């Protein structure tokens, strides 16, 4: 909007100086530009952050924002298989019935006419997370205060309808509604209702806040008025814009130090004090979910506590290993610097019972099996890009069931002489300690070394690619697939190009998994409930990551998914009631 013109009375026959005129024009343009910048920044920041981030208390354990667009929800339900669709529908119906149907509300009739584009649900940390140490004896009163609370923030696009909903809520099945005031904000809350309590408050006519306890409502109002909300938490407002997307389906945030405190208080698997101190260096993990034509994309960011002494090395030098692997590669995990990756893992995993493998255990295991020192003999020269891949053999003619895979490790060496010395030591150990035959051979004219077991079976092969990339093949003999460099590489395949994100670029690591072919021929360990059903719905998974700056990492993950034809509508609340009666 153009600034209003201001008329200034002047003496007759005296023209304003050119300098004054230009200065005034410059001032108006500058002021207008500054105002526009401030407005655009305010609009950008509010849309980049979680909806209601200025209301959710800063110590919230977890928050998720989800779209209210029914077309996006329908699009989500089209991905997967009939089995995964049924599982998703079951969860959606449970959420709908818990928050709406059981309280007499229908989303389309009662909520859709006034609610904004997204709603946010946050889980507040229990009181125990903020206590210095758990009490030796916990009373019933303490246990009640340690329960997690929920806060739901619904932005209001039609204040009049929202006010009417709040002024005339549905009649409770049990108990009654009471009104009270807190910090000048009117609160309507249930009293005498068995089970969950319900509290609702309208903030500035723009946000309807619903919680499951009076204390949670007060905490949300305090956070809003005192500016102690999620939006002011260290690194939150700076990092969320890195993964912003205006067509997002949802967004989430995890408070890492608070989650670590809760885990540390668990009597089953307590986290040692030194590990807890390391986890306090991390502040947040956030992600944005976007529905695309062939699957779901997750843009993620993790960041350190702004007050921590730890910093990240901004080193993004990966992205070449997929051009050394054949097109039939089933899985590839790559990174930019193996030595640095190991150092970071040791820093956060030493003494941590939740780590997949203890650093000292791995060090001792390698020392016992090979006599080599992991840090001095191996990782000291492994400062370049590395990859770990699964490559299948070509089945013999007439034997389609003859499916085997080779595990291929590649690493770019930073000191060729040190690498050769360590590899020679490894050859001596295999020959003298395990009675393997260490045979020199050639593949495609390139020298390699084979380890042949006492039973005459080829067990492993190692050598060099282009003079500076060491490789080790274990399992099925697939060396001829990487020597010479394949014409049809993994990088050139449609599956890799459509799955593995091209951003961020440059990158410090990538991941690719052909789920369909891998799961079909190679059983995977169970990590999540109903894992097989979700794997059956997935075609491939790709990820690209990078160090954004000295305190944050960014990720782009894409899942290509199967689709369900002729999706059916969600079961109506009425049909659920009828089924429950039967």
Question: According to the model, what pLDDT value does residue 19 have?
Answer: 37
What DSSP designation does 357 have?
S
pLDDT category at 396 given cuts 50, 70, 90 is low
Question: According to the model, what pLDDT value does residue 575 have?
Answer: 54
The beta-strand segments (E) located in 192-350 are 199-203, 207-211, 250-255, 282-292, 295-304, 331-335
Per-residue CA distances from 367 to 48, 103, 297, 386, 460 (Å): 50, 63, 42, 22, 19
Least confident span in 263-267, 343-347, 505-509: 263-267
Least confident span in 238-242, 308-312, 361-365, 514-518: 308-312
Which of 258, 251, 254 minimizes the C-alpha distance to 279? Answer: 258
| pLDDT tens digits, 186-228 | 999 988 776 677 899 999 999 999 999 999 999 999 999 999 9
Chain mean pLDDT for the chain: 83
Question: According to the model, what pLDDT value does residue 398 have?
Answer: 52
| pLDDT tens digits, 76-108 | 999 999 888 888 888 888 888 877 887 788 888
d(CA 256, CA 129): 12
Higher pLDDT, 220 or 27: 220
pLDDT category at 275 given cuts 50, 70, 90 is low
Question: According to the model, what pLDDT value does residue 36 have?
Answer: 36
List the domain boundaries for the chain: 47-132+144-233, 313-549
Across the chain, which distance is largest between two alpha carbons, in Å?
112
Question: According to the model, what pLDDT value does residue 363 have?
Answer: 94
| pLDDT tens digits, 442-458 | 999 999 999 999 988 88
Checking if the pLDDT of 3 tops 70, the result is no
Checking if the pLDDT of 17 tops 50, the result is no
Determine if the peptide bond prior to 412 is cis (ω within 30°).
no
Over residues 132-149, mean pLDDT: 46
d(CA 292, CA 279): 34
Over residues 33-44, mean pLDDT: 37
| pLDDT tens digits, 313-338 | 999 999 999 999 999 999 999 999 99
* Other CB atoms within 10 Å distance of the CB of residue 556: 22
The full DSSP string for 88-116 is HHHHHHHHHHHHTGGGT--IIIIITTTB-
d(CA 219, CA 577): 36
| pLDDT tens digits, 470-490 | 999 999 999 999 999 999 999
- What percentage of the chain exceeds 90 in pLDDT? 55
Residues contacting 540, CB < 8 A, separation 6+: 495, 499, 512, 513, 514, 515, 516, 559, 560
pLDDT category at 5 given cuts 50, 70, 90 is very low
Question: According to the model, what pLDDT value does residue 43 have?
Answer: 38
């Amino acid at each position: 909007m153009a600034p209003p013109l201001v008329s200034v009375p002047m003496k007759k026959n005296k023209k304003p100086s050119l300098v004054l005129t230009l200065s005034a024009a410059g001032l108006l343009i500058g002021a207008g530009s500054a105002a526009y910048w401030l407005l655009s920044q305010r609009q950008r920041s509010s849309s980049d952050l979680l909806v209601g981030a200025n209301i959710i208390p800063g110590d919230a354990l977890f928050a998720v924002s989800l779209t209210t667009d029914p077309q996006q929800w329908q699009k989500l339900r089209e991905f997967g298989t009939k089995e995964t669709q049924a599982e998703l529908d079951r969860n959606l119906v449970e959420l709908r019935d818990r928050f709406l149907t059981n309280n007499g509300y229908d989303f389309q009739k009662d909520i859709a006419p006034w609610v904004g584009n997204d709603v946010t649900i946050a889980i507040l940390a229990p009181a125990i997370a903020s206590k210095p140490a758990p009490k030796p004896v916990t009373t019933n009163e303490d246990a009640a205060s340690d329960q997690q609370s929920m806060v739901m923030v619904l932005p209001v696009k039609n204040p009049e309808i929202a006010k009417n909903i709040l002024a005339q809520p549905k009649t409770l099945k049990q108990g009654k509604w009471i009104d009270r005031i807190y910090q000048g904000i009117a609160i309507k809350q249930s009293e005498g209702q068995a089970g969950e309590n319900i509290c609702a408050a309208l903030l500035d006519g723009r946000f309807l806040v619903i919680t499951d306890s009076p204390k949670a409502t007060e905490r949300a109002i305090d956070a809003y008025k005192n500016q102690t909300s999620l939006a002011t938490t260290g690194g939150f407002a700076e990092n969320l814009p890195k993964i912003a997307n205006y067509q997002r389906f949802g967004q989430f945030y995890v408070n890492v130090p608070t989650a670590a405190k809760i885990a540390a208080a668990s009597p089953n698997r307590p986290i040692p004090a030194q590990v807890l101190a390391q986890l306090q260096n991390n502040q947040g993990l956030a992600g944005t979910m976007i529905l695309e034509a062939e699957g779901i994309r997750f843009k993620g960011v993790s960041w350190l506590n702004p007050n921590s002494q730890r910093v990240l090395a901004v080193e993004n030098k990966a992205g070449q290993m997929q051009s050394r692997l054949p097109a039939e590669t089933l899985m590839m995990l790559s990174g930019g610097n193996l030595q640095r990756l190991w150092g970071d893992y040791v820093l956060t995993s030493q003494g941590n019972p939740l780590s997949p493998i203890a650093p000292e255990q791995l060090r001792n295991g390698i020392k016992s099996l090979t006599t080599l020192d992991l840090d001095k003999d191996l990782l000291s020269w492994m400062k370049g890009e590395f990859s770990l891949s699964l490559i299948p053999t070509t089945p013999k003619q007439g034997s389609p069931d003859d499916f085997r895979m080779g595990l291929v490790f590649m690493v770019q060496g930073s000191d060729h002489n040190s690498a050769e010395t360590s590899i020679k030591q490894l050859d001596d150990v295999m020959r003298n300690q395990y009675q393997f035959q260490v045979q020199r051979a050639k593949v495609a004219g390139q020298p390699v070394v084979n380890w042949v077991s006492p039973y005459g079976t080829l067990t492993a092969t190692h050598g060099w690619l282009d003079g500076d990339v060491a490789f080790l093949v274990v399992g099925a003999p697939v060396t001829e697939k990487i020597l010479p460099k394949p014409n049809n590489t993994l990088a050139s395949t449609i599956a890799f190009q459509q799955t593995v994100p091209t951003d961020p670029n440059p990158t410090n690591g990538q991941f690719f998994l052909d789920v369909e072919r891998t799961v079909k021929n190679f059983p995977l360990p169970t990590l999540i409930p109903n894992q097989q059903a979700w794997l059956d719905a997935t075609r491939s998974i790709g990820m690209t990551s990078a160090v954004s700056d000295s305190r944050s990492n960014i990720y782009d993950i894409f899942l290509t998914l199967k689709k369900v034809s002729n999706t059916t509508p969600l079961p109506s609340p009425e049909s659920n009631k009828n089924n429950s009666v039967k």
